[in-house]
Amino acid sequence: MNAIKNKKITFTLIAVLLVTYFGTSIIFSPYSNAISAIAYKYGSKGSVVTQIQTKLKNWGYYKGSVDGKFGYQTYLAVKNFQSKNGLTADGVAGDSTLAALGINNPSQSNNAQYSSNSEDLMLLARLINGEARGEPYEGQVAVGAVVLNRVRDSRFPSTVAGVIYEPRAFTATVDGQIDAELEQTSINAARDALNGWDPSGGAVYYFNPAKATSAWIWSRPLIKIIGEHRFCS
């Protein structure tokens, strides 16, 4: 009887330990994953905070001093930037916000300036869809190529999201067309651009002469015309 009783106790203890282990894993696993990525928030300090402040100051969101200290003014500036660019407005500069600012997160690999992952693909497709819907397919790919050419150019942010969400860089992010119903051709064009096809001839600018309101854009050297767009260097 004692042997049977001891076995029951042992099995009960094992069951309790297993339930506790898996329950703890379920509860804390998301937390563990969350803290594995570097996010910059109120109280953070360092060179990345300096980059954040510099970008936000250049774009008119931040009025304070660039001191590498994530204080209240930086928090408000980050929150305002997030709100204006369709990001979660929590005042914390995580992966998505850093990417939109064109800043590489040190917690992630820097082996490539951009990747052909699904996030880049779909964001680029949405930009193409908003900017070049109805244009010849070659012209749609060319618009995607312009974004990627900017990623490689030191004058522009170094990520796809950073280039696309740079203030006033693309009409589609201003008028909301980036959120228009996505067409399959836009996805295909984004994929072709990410795979290396550049019908634009290396352009970093393009515009529709029938809609352009900036006199400056006409000063850019013309590379080629595709559909309604002029592609320039």
Same domain, 29 and 52: no
Is a pLDDT exceeding 90 seen at residue 123?
Answer: yes
Residue 73: predicted pLDDT = 94
Please count the structural domains in the chain.
3
Return the H-helix or E-strand segment holding 187. helix 184-194
Residue 52: predicted pLDDT = 92
Nearest partner of 201 among 167, 173, 230, judged by Cα: 230
Same domain, 86 and 175: no
Query: What are the pLDDT digits (tens) for 138-197?
Result: 999 999 999 999 999 999 998 999 999 998 899 999 889 999 999 999 999 999 998 888
CATH number of the domain residue 86 falls in: 1.10.101.10
213: amino acid identity, one letter: T
Per residue, what are the HEC states of 26-49? Answer: HHHHHHHHHHHCCCECCCCECHHH
Same domain, 122 and 219: yes
Measured in degrees and rounded to the nearest 5, phi and psi for residue 159 equal: -130, 160
Same domain, 147 and 183: yes
pTM: 0.53
Concatenated DSSP letters of 80-144: HHHHHTTS--SS-B-HHHHHHHT---TTS--S-SS--SHHHHHHHHHHHHHHHTTS-HHHHHHHH
Query: What are the pLDDT digits (tens) for 94-109?
Result: 888 888 887 776 655 4
Residue 96: predicted pLDDT = 83
Residue 51: predicted pLDDT = 87
